[in-house]
């Protein structure tokens, strides 16, 4: 093995280690995305039942996963920047078959993440539309209650007595 081949093997090994780390990050992101999808589905259920407290709890849980995903994305981008030229080169498949397999797995994982993001987006859109409808119904109910209160208050109002009162004392 000459020096050039040894150097190439070393580069391939580093690239493969980084690809393995990227796969690990992608799997963690997939886990968080799946959890967000589950929470979004649960939000749909509580929107139907109009359970606001539970809805707020799910929103807080989702935010935790979103924050974790943001950190994973930053780490992913940083690592990928280091190897993107190598994995996108023409000879990568032939020069590093193991790395190419890892890269193919990474691309498949990223594709699954994109599918999950799309499912979340569609469900979120439905939830927002449902939430708007719930809010319209609540506003209509509040308006109706206020009208009823005004009517009740007008009916219940005491009329000041200006005339005398006749008392029948016959027995």
Mean pLDDT check: name the lowest of 5-9, 23-27, 32-36: 5-9
The angle, 0 to 180 degrees and rounded to 10, between the axes of the packed helices 3-49 and 52-87 is: 160
Kindly state the percentage of the chain with pLDDT values over 70: 84
Query: Would you say how long the chain is, in residues?
Result: 171
- Asked if residues 106 and 22 have their Cβ atoms less than 8 Å apart, the reply is yes
In degrees and rounded to multiples of 5, residue 49 shows phi and psi of -90, -5
pTM, two decimals, is 0.73
User: For the domain 8-152, what is the CATH code?
Assistant: 1.20.58
**Model confidence pLDDT, tens digit, residues 97-148:** 999 999 999 999 999 999 999 999 999 999 899 888 878 887 888 887 887 7
* Domain spans in the chain, listed from the N-terminal domain onward: 8-152
Query: b/e per residue, 95-112, with b = 16+ CB within 10 A?
Result: bbeebbebbebbeebbeb
Q: How far is Cα 94 from Cα 78, in angstroms, rounded to an integer?
A: 25
Q: Please tell me the predicted confidence (pLDDT) of residue 154.
A: 67
% of the chain with per-residue pLDDT over 90:
56
pLDDT at 100 (0 to 100): 95
């Amino acid at each position: 093995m000459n020096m050039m081949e040894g150097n190439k093997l070393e580069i391939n090994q580093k690239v493969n280690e980084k690809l393995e780390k990227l796969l690990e990050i992608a799997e963690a992101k997939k886990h968080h995305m799946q959890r967000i999808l589950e929470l979004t589905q649960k939000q749909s259920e509580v929107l139907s039942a109009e359970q606001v407290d539970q809805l707020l709890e799910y929103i807080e849980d989702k935010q935790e996963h979103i924050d974790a995903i943001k950190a994973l994305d930053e780490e992913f981008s940083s690592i990928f920047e280091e190897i993107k030229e190598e994995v996108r080169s023409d000879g990568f498949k032939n020069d590093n078959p193991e790395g190419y397999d890892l890269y193919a797995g990474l691309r498949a994982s990223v594709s699954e993440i994109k599918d999950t993001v799309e499912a979340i987006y569609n469900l979120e859109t439905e939830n927002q539309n449902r939430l708007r409808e719930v809010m319209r119904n609540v506003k209509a109910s509040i308006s109706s209650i206020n009208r009823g209160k005004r009517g009740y208050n007008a009916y219940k109002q005491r009329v000041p007595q200006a005339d005398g009162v006749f008392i029948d004392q016959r027995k």
